[in-house]
Amino acid sequence: MKNILEIKNLTKYYGKVLAVKDLSLELKPGEIFGFIGPNGAGKSTTIRSIMNLINKTKGEVYFLGETLTKNNLKLKEQIGYLPSEISLYEELTVKEMLDYHESFYKKDLSKRRKELVKKLKLDETKKIEDLSLGNQKKLGIVLALMHEPKLLILDEPTSGLDPIMQQVFYDLLKEEKEKGTTIFYSTHILSEISKICDRVGIIKEGTLLKVESIKELQAKNLTNVTITSKEIDKIGKELNVKVEKIDSETIKFKNTLASNELIKILSKYEIKKLLIEEPSLEDVFLHYYK
Amino acid sequence: MFKREYKYNFKSFLIWTTITLGIFLIVYLMYPSIVSSDNIKMIDEMMKVFPPEMLKAFNMDIASMNSAYGWLKSEGFVFVLLIIGCYAGILGANILLKEENDKTVEYLNSLPIKRTSIVLNKVLVGLINITLLVLLLGIFNYIGLTLSGDFDIKQFILLSITPLFPALVLFFTCLFISTFTHKTKKTLGISLGIVLISYILQTLSTIAEPVEFLKYFSAFTLADIRNVIMNVSINPFMIIITIILSLMFLSLTIIHYNKKELV
């Protein structure tokens, strides 16, 4: 199947500082592609290069087979973009902002607009300057989705949203995916990636380290495990992994065993306390790519 | 886009218009008492003390202060030129840059609109507001002068148009300069500096002959008020230069803005 978005050899220098190095990736139609990396890894620079907000030092971006330039309006009409920190016209009300957005598109957006406003519980009479950070984000989501784009570019979209709204947002993304929308989802939250994405690209210090499907990533089953038990030495021996001793009864280790296998081993012993944590991004990087 | 932009800039336009008209209202209210008293003779006597170059710089050698119209042709037009010039400069420096300063540019850039269209929409708002300010001030002065005595209507109409020329050049110059930065704070000082330095250069070029060449570096030379007062006509050369300079800075703005990194 033809790729929706192709980034070829993207390189970006800010002066002498390298922000993104020779990055290439493809997005398939209808997939949610997670783009993950710590702060300063080059995620926003990549997105801003795609959106032509900044000039690429090298490389090309193709959307629907055509070069995506800043003046290609036909292509821009089919992109929805949500920046990480959304800034809108504070003097406008939500309704005026949505009307303003609508005025740039030739098609009728009123139906989708109504649906989104209702789902995200936005008050159209409020002024943007009076909206909380979360409500501004919700408005940003409506603006990114209301013209029913073929490609959605989302930069840290859930920051500022409460857990209920996060769930509403994930449901919205699933709906979009069912409709065939391709989603480029940038985040530094690992749990979001495993929840909604099909594939993931990991970026570190401007370099795309790896592109993997979520299934592949989950198969590796990396977790941080802390166990407290009187029989801690025996447990450590049986697990046969490199452990960090916290105190005489507690160990901590990076687990790569399948959950069933881990539980089977632990069930033989009396466990005082068991803590299984999601690894930090840094853990994932260190574990897989050091 | 035009509608929102106009609505947004209308507030500052109203403030500038109110202040400008307020200043002139005070003059028109005060002038009848000045003219009818003995003070006017004292003012005329005082004028003789000033060196001819100084009087020339403020057109006092060709306009008497013994009427409101006389005042307008001399001191009054210093205010008109400076106020409209400052407004045009500040507007030019802010109108495009505000999107970057307020970080709304990231949203604006994601919309299906060319950067050239963004510039042109904003320029149109700027041009309308500057022209409206010149027009409203002209109408206000016409009413004020009609109530204050006789005056040459043709000369007055031509005089009222002249501030438009330096204002347009200042607007486009500041607009172009604004494409080199991301923060309005930086350009506010620069734009006001350009307007004031431009005025000083024009004044100096009138006062001292050895530095007459400085007039070529001042936008206010384009107002050419002395010629309008003396010959009751606008030199077409000034109109041509205004159009050439405005188009040149507009083109440079579009070229540079299209290449600019917006965040």
Hey, where are the domains in chain B?
A: 2-259
Q: Using a CB-CB distance cutoff of 8 angstroms, which residues of chain A are in contact with residue B113?
A: 73, 104
Count of residues making up chain B: 263
Question: Are the C-beta atoms of A52 and A70 separated by less than 8 Å?
Answer: yes
CA distances in angstroms from B31 to A110, A188, B60, B207, listed in the order given? 59, 70, 17, 28
**Chain mean pLDDT for chain B:** 87
* CATH code (residue A277): 3.30.70
A180 with A73, same domain? Answer: yes
pLDDT digit string, tens, across residues B181-198:
988 888 888 999 999 999
| Position with higher pLDDT, B39 vs A66 | A66
A213 with A177, same domain? Answer: yes
* Contact status of A209 with chain B (Cβ, < 8 Å): no
Number of domains into which chain A is organized: 2
CB–CB contact B1 A104 (8 Å)? yes
pLDDT score of B2 more than 60 = yes
DSSP letter at B201?
Answer: H
- Closest Cα in chain A, distance from residue B175 (Å): 20
If you average pLDDT over residues B25-49, what whole number do you get?
72
Q: For position A287, what pLDDT does the model report?
A: 64
Q: Which amino acid is at A206?
A: G
A251 with A141, same domain? Answer: no
Query: Which range marks the domain in which residue A205 is found?
Result: 5-218
Q: For position B63, what pLDDT does the model report?
A: 65
d(CA B176, CA A237): 72
Count of residues making up chain A: 290
Predicted confidence pLDDT, tens digits, chain A (290 residues): 588 999 999 999 998 999 999 999 999 999 999 998 888 889 999 999 999 999 999 999 999 989 999 989 999 999 999 998 899 999 999 999 999 999 999 888 999 999 999 999 999 999 999 999 889 999 999 999 999 999 999 999 998 888 888 888 999 999 999 999 999 999 888 778 878 899 989 898 899 988 888 877 766 667 889 999 999 989 988 888 888 889 999 999 888 787 888 889 999 999 999 998 877 655 665 665 55
CB–CB contact A53 B106 (8 Å)? yes
CB–CB contact B107 A88 (8 Å)? yes
Question: Are the C-beta atoms of B253 and B245 separated by less than 8 Å?
Answer: no
d(CA A205, CA A199): 20
The full 3-state SS of chain A, as one line of letters, equals CCCCEEEEEEEEEECCEEEEEEEEEEECCCCEEEEECCCCCCHHHHHHHHCCCCCCCEEEEEECCEECCCCCHHHHCCEEEECCCCCCCCCCEHHHHHHHHHCCCCCCCHHHHHHHHHHCCCCCCCEHHHCCHHHHHHHHHHHHHCCCCCEEEEECCCCCCCHHHHHHHHHHHHHHHHHCCEEEEEECCHHHHHHHCCEEEEEECCEEEEEEEHHHHHHHCCEEEEEEECCHHHHHHHHCCCEEEEECCEEEEEECCCHHHHHHHHCCCCEEEEEEECCCHHHHHHHHHC
d(CA A15, CA A12): 9
pLDDT digit string, tens, across residues B80-103:
899 999 999 999 999 999 999 999
pLDDT score of B121 more than 60 = yes
Domain end among A203, A218, A233: A218
Chain B's closest residue to A143, CA to CA, is: B107
Instruction: Please name the member of A70, A86, A92 whose beta carbon is closest to the beta carbon of B115.
Output: A70
Domain end among A166, A200, A218: A218
A36 with A155, same domain? Answer: yes
pTM for the complete prediction? Answer: 0.83
Q: Within 10 Å of residue A131's Cβ, how many Cβ atoms? A: 20
Chain A's closest residue to B8, CA to CA, is: A91
* Contact status of A143 with chain B (Cβ, < 8 Å): yes
CB–CB contact B110 A101 (8 Å)? no
Chain A's closest residue to B113, CA to CA, is: A73
Contacts of B149 (CB under 8 A, 6+ apart): B67, B68, B69
CB–CB contact B114 A73 (8 Å)? yes
Q: Enumerate residues 100 to 119 of chain B having a beta carbon within 8 A of any beta carbon in chain A.
A: 102-107, 109-116
Q: Which of A49, A51, A56, A102 to mutate to test the interface with B (most CBs of B within 10 A)?
A: A51
Chain B's closest residue to A51, CA to CA, is: B110
| Reported ipTM | 0.81
Chain A's closest residue to B115, CA to CA, is: A71
* CATH code (residue A162): 3.40.50.300
Q: Enumerate residues 48 to 67 of chain A having a beta carbon within 8 A of any beta carbon in chain B.
A: 48, 51-55
Percent of chain B with pLDDT over 90: 47
* Contact status of A73 with chain B (Cβ, < 8 Å): yes
Sheet-wide strand order for A151-155 = A79-82, A151-155, A182-187, A32-36, A199-204, A207-213
Domain end among A166, A186, A218: A218
